[in-house]
């Protein structure tokens, strides 16, 4: 009987908050109606709405369940989330929500972007929340003076802070809208722009001898130090996330960030990683070419040259495992076994960036049989490197980057979406820390597609014909890629019409 009293008290407080929300809504709807009768403009007309992609997603209906488990130990945070949810249900009060992250430059001005301009970060605080998400932006790299000069002319935003906007709106896992970001919407959001061109690994300042600074690893550490004065010191969970080069940056920096916090006396902050589209393979290219730029150069050669040019730093355990060959630490399946902190891997099985560096260029022309075979083998290789990763989400889609896309809630593997899988992972880590139990039943965290072709998963993002811009279904896409239904059906020992039916249904 005694054990039920805390939950009863929680329910009473929740009901009071929800009653407050209903009253607020009635008052606001009355105020809105009065304004309309007087012919005045509503607050929505006076103030610009959130970006279109957020408005579109906000129109869908969404139910929010109240989970009372483990609420007693974090009551204030739970009540804050309920109040924020109640506010977001009503148009007037929703205007109080600020969707934007605001730009801050580093206190330590000696840590800079490539061109010596100050590095920085975007922050949206969530008062009352003890969860923090720090996101590392991606954007390839450069590895010598020639291609860094070219990058500076064509992609200056990725090497300089001189043109950064003052605010940034988060999407996907950085969104503050519950319908777009069901599990992390109320976290403190931090976006670190990529301006070091070094896969977040460098520690070299700009000098008279060095045309560019490469300080990616130092930028992350300085951001963490700055955030400790803005509430991170009270955090319970810090999720270091990133996409593409930022995803690789997560693998390289999740342990160093945790070690930094421990050195500074913040031993209670649980540091975790979320690496999206950063699990690259050091495989043999489809067609070998000279290493003249970032696109055509083989992945291993890029990193071997880059790590010297950048003064690249790798995690200590990985450095010891590959002493003298530290470039190995930039490849997910090699660095992952050396990482101590929990990391969730998100990886398209047919990653466009991997295909690009492997010299498979999908330019709208049907691929040759050898290319088609290479693409299928790539999916098989990726599956093999991921099979021992306990927490991962790997759809059989042809794409690149995922967690900040608006469709990140729509793609499923075996009936489970990525936000749901991340929620399950969070729960499993909480329960494991308490009692070393296995992951909760019906809450999978190891999700990988088994079908063998690009876009054989029917929930994959839409593909468009590059020449016409028209959307393509799975069969049209495979035909476009040079897929031979008759030949493949013969190889699988089935009737061609049956194979077509399976493809159409996504089997």
CB 392 within 8 A of CB 346: yes
pLDDT of residue 98: 63
Give whichever of 10-14, 307-311, 372-376, 435-439 has the largest mean pLDDT. 307-311
DSSP designation for 359:
T
Q: Out of 183, 266, 400, 455, which one is annotated catalytic? A: 400
Of the candidate ranges 24-28, 368-372, 471-475, the one whose mean pLDDT is the lowest: 24-28
pLDDT of residue 69: 42
Catalytic residue flag (residue 400) = yes
Residue 276 forms beta bridges with which residues? 243, 346
User: What's 276-335 look like in SS3?
Assistant: ECCCCCCCCCCCCCCCCCCCCCCHHHHHHHHHHHHCCCCCHHHHHHCCCCHHHHHCHHHH
Strands, E assignment, 326-370? 343-346, 350-351
pLDDT of residue 28: 43
Closest CA to 44 of 83, 93, 88, 89: 93
Q: What average pLDDT does the structure give for the chain?
A: 80
pLDDT of residue 206: 87
The answer on pLDDT for 144 being more than 80 is: yes
Q: Out of 351, 358, 426, 449, which one is annotated catalytic? A: 351
Q: Which is it for the CA torsion 388, 432, 258, 122, positive or negative?
A: positive
Backbone angles phi, psi at 112, to 5 degrees: -130, 175
pLDDT digits (tens, 9 = 90+) for 230-279: 999 999 999 999 999 999 999 999 999 999 999 999 999 999 999 999 99
Catalytic residue flag (residue 484) = no
pLDDT of residue 430: 86
pLDDT digits (tens, 9 = 90+) for 354-365: 988 887 776 556
pTM of the model: 0.78
Q: Out of 244, 399, 417, 428, which one is annotated catalytic? A: 244
Residue 471: pLDDT band (50, 70, 90) is: low
The answer on pLDDT for 113 being more than 50 is: yes
pLDDT of residue 8: 46
Mean pLDDT over residues 458-462, rounded? Answer: 88
pLDDT of residue 68: 41
For 448-462, b/e burial (b = at least 16 CB within 10 A) is bbebebbbbbeebbe
CB 190 within 8 A of CB 135: yes
pLDDT of residue 25: 46
Of the candidate ranges 68-77, 301-310, 343-352, 497-506, the one whose mean pLDDT is the lowest: 68-77
Residue 493: pLDDT band (50, 70, 90) is: confident
Q: Greater confidence, 58 or 464?
A: 464
pLDDT of residue 78: 56
Of the candidate ranges 43-52, 131-140, 441-450, the one whose mean pLDDT is the lowest: 43-52
Instruction: Report the distance separating Cα 26 and Cα 34, nearest Å.
Output: 12
Residues 6+ apart with CB under 8 A from 275: 241, 242, 247, 248, 250, 251, 332, 343, 344, 345, 346
CB 303 within 8 A of CB 327: yes
Q: Greater confidence, 233 or 442?
A: 233
Instruction: Report the distance separating Cα 43 and Cα 25, nearest Å.
Output: 14
Domain extent listing, the chain: 100-505
Catalytic residue flag (residue 455) = no
Q: Greater confidence, 15 or 416?
A: 416
pLDDT of residue 366: 62
């Amino acid at each position: 009987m005694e054990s039920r009293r805390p939950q009863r008290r929680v329910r009473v407080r929740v009901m009071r908050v929800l009653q407050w929300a209903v009253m607020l809504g009635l008052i606001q709807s009355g105020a809105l109606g009065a304004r309309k009768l007087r012919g005045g403009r509503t607050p929505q007309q006076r103030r610009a709405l959130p970006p279109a992609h957020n408005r579109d997603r906000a129109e869908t209906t969404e139910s929010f369940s109240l989970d009372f488990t483990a609420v007693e130990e974090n009551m204030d945070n739970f009540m804050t989330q309920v109040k924020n949810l109640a506010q977001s249900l009503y148009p007037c009060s929703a205007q109080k929500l600020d969707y934007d992250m605001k730009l801050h430059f580093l206190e330590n001005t000696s840590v800079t972007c490539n061109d010596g301009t100050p590095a920085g970060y975007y922050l949206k605080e969530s008062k009352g929340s003890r969860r923090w998400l720090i996101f590392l932006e991606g954007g390839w790299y450069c590895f010598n003076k020639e291609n860094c000069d070219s990058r500076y002319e064509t992609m200056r935003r990725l090497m300089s802070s001189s043109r950064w906007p003052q605010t940034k709106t988060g999407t996907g896992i950085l969104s503050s809208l519950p319908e777009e970001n069901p599990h992390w919407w109320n976290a403190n959001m931090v976006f670190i722009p990529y301006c070091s061109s070094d896969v977040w690994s460098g520690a070299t300042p700009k000098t008279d001898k060095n045309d560019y600074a490469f300080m990616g690893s130092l930028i992350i550490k300085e951001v963490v130090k700055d955030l400790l004065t803005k509430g991170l010191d009270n955090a319970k969970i810090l999720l270091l996330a990133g996409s593409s080069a930022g995803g690789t940056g997560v693998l390289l920096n999740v342990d160093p960030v945790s070690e930094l916090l421990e050195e500074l006396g913040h031993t209670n902050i649980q540091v975790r990683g979320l690496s999206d589209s950063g699990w690259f393979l050091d495989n043999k290219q489809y067609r070998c070419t000279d290493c003249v730029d970032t696109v055509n150069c083989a992945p291993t050669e890029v990193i071997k040259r880059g790590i010297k040019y950048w003064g690249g730093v790798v995690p200590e355990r990985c450095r010891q495992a590959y002493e003298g060959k530290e470039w190995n630490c930039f490849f997910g399946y090699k660095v992952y076994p050396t990482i101590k902190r929990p990391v969730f891997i998100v990886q398209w099985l047919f990653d466009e960036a991997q295909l690009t560096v492997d010299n498979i260029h999908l330019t709208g022309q049907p691929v040759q049989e050898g290319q088609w075979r290479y693409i299928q083998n790539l999916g098989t290789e990726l599956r093999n490197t991921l099979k021992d990763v306990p927490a991962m989400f790997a759809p059989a889609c042809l794409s690149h980057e995922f967690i900040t896309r608006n469709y990140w809630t729509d793609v499923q593997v075996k009936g489970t979406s990525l936000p749901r899988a991340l929620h399950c992972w969070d729960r499993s880590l909480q329960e494991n820390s308490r009692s070393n139990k296995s992951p909760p039943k019906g809450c999978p965290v190891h999700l990988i597609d088994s079908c063998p072709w690009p876009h054989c998963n029917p929930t994959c993002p839409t593909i468009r014909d590059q020449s016409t811009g028209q959307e393509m279904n799975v069969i049209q896409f495979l035909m476009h890629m040079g897929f031979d239904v008759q030949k493949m059906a013969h190889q699988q020992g089935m009737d061609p019409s049956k194979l077509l039916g399976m493809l159409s249904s996504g089997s």
